[in-house]
Amino acid sequence: MSMASVSTTLTINGSKSHVDALLAGISADDPDTFEAKIIENEDGFQLRILVVGENLTTVRNTVDDLLACLGAIESTLNSLE
């Protein structure tokens, strides 16, 4: 019997430098709890973060941590503009 899991994907669109900075900032967080990659599409670039966990609580906690980290990076990037 396979173990059930919960997953969610966060997507953030922006310039290459913007999504690169976001990816660099979260890569140091806890890379074993999520997978992240940058995709180029017709609208520019997109950072996709896949979070998978054993249960909803685990995934929610990881997403909360990522959003806090991404928010801090966004604030820093905005202050530099």
From CA 5, how far away is CA 79, in angstroms rounded?
38
CA 76 to chain centre: 17
| pLDDT at residue 28 is higher than 80 | no
The pLDDT score that the predictor gives to residue 71 is 95
Give 66-81 pLDDT, tens digit per residue.
999 999 999 998 888 7
pTM above 0.85, yes or no: yes
The pLDDT score that the predictor gives to residue 1 is 43
For domain 6-80, which CATH number applies: 3.30.300.10, 3.40.50.410, 3.30.70.1400, 3.30.70.60?
Answer: 3.30.70.60
Give 29-61 pLDDT, tens digit per residue.
677 889 999 999 888 999 999 999 999 999 999
Contacts of residue 47, Cβ cutoff 8 Å, sequence gap at least 6: 10, 11, 12, 14, 19, 22, 23, 36, 37, 38
- And the tokens for 15? 């310039």
- What Cα–Cα distance (Å) separates residue 25 from each residue in 20, 21, 56, 67? 9, 6, 24, 11
| pLDDT at residue 24 is higher than 70 | yes
